[in-house]
Amino acid sequence: MANLLELLTQEERKLINSSTYEKDQIIFHEDSLCENLGIIVTGSASIISYSFEGQNILFRTLQKHDTFGENLIFSKNPFYKGNVIATSKVKIAFVSKNNLIKILQENKNFLIEFLNLTSEFAKELNSKIKILSFTNAEERFYYFMHEHKNDYVMKNITSFSNELGITRETLSRLLTKLELDEKIIILNKKISLIE
């Protein structure tokens, strides 16, 4: 994935504002107005909401060069659907809506990469919706593995359970069962389906 900031001219870089946030700091609250495209310069953040039972719902994990707000800034309802929270010390470059329009009109390379990013985001969102449409954990797991060509390296059990929209405990039980049934192999956090 290209770094959008590297595609800017010297003049366009003057249109960017940056801010730094400490770990666990809330950058934007759920339901706050999205007025900027955010680009992660260093560090990481997540967009998280909460169920009525108080369970975390992870919408997105954001790493260096990732963007957020691209799906909201031109929306008729441009409000964050979750809290944007720093998961480490994070520096974020912000591009206002008006400045973004100016850059998109004048910088073809930036425009093409921006369209690529928004297309990829739409694909990820459709995949997440499909995962959540399955009613049980096993169906969600198999769909996710199919989408990842039957091999997946998980960062940790919590982040993987968030990807699937199930609890850590449910995922741990499922992985143990599938491993005992010889349907998967888990080696150094890499999960592979046995075909």
Q: Rounded distance, CA 187 to CA 184, Å?
A: 10
User: Using 50, 70 and 90 to split pLDDT, how confident is the model at 54?
Assistant: low
pLDDT band at 184 (very low <50, low <70, confident <90, very high): very high
Tens digits of residue pLDDT in 124-135: 878 888 888 888
Number of domains in the chain: 2
Q: Higher confidence at residue 5 or residue 163?
A: 5
Q: Could you tell me the strand order of the sheet in which 190-193 lies?
A: 151-153, 190-193, 184-187
In this structure, what CATH number is given to the domain that contains residue 21? 2.60.120.10
- Report the C-alpha gap between 119 and 131 in whole angstroms: 19
Contacts of residue 74, defined as CB under 8 A and 6 or more positions apart, other chains included, come to 97
Pair (120, 139) in one structural domain: no
Query: Pick from 81, 116, 132: which residue ends a domain?
Result: 132
pLDDT digits (tens, 9 = 90+) for 74-111: 999 999 989 999 999 999 999 999 999 999 999 999 99
Same domain, 167 and 126: no
In angstroms, the CA 169 to CA 20 distance is: 35
Residue 60 structure tokens = 């997105």
Q: Is there a contact between 74 and 34 (Cβ–Cβ < 8 Å)? A: no
Token pair, residue 14, equals 């003057």
Q: Can you tell me the mean pLDDT for 57-84?
A: 90
Residue 8 sits in which domain range?
4-132
